[in-house]
Amino acid sequence: MILFFPNEIITLFFGSEFTVGSLALSILAFGFFFHSITGPTSDIVKAIDASRLVMVDGAVAALVNFILNIILVPQFDYIGAAIATTSSYALLNGLYSYQVYTRTGAHPFSKKYLLLITLTAIPVSGWFLLIL
């Protein structure tokens, strides 16, 4: 709901003067949606006795977030920060998923599921680009 109706949700909870942040909210909602569909991959990494990787992955994602914020915030303000955070979460979950797959052969996505995600991500990404 937040992804598609950010203005209404912000107005409902905080008032219309805060709707300027609706695009950032949508971007962050998209990132956390991706984070939620990858499932508990960090817990699986810990369970396969690779908890050090959780720390390394978190450090890599934090560094990427920092660098992307330096690059994007001056140009895009808080929208750049939302893009940086969403990108960092995607990287972090990608690293977790890769490590689970290489160690166990398990992955959260079937080919059919990946196709569905790709076909959904393309128009949503285009929608975000049109809004920017």
Q: Is the dihedral of CA 96, 102, 103, 105 positive or negative?
A: positive
Q: Tell me the whole-structure pTM to 2 decimals.
A: 0.78
Cβ contacts of residue 74 below 8 Å, gap of 6+?
80
pLDDT, tens only, 85-117: 999 999 999 999 888 888 888 876 667 777 777
- The amino acid that residue 35 corresponds to is H
Count how many domains the chain has. Answer: 1
Query: Which residues span the domain enclosing 49?
Result: 38-131
pLDDT, tens only, 36-66: 877 688 888 888 888 888 899 999 999 999 9
Among residues of the chain, what percentage have pLDDT more than 90? 39
Residue 86 confidence (pLDDT)? 94
Evaluate whether residue 21 is within a structural domain: no
Evaluate whether residue 14 is within a structural domain: no
Evaluate whether residue 32 is within a structural domain: no
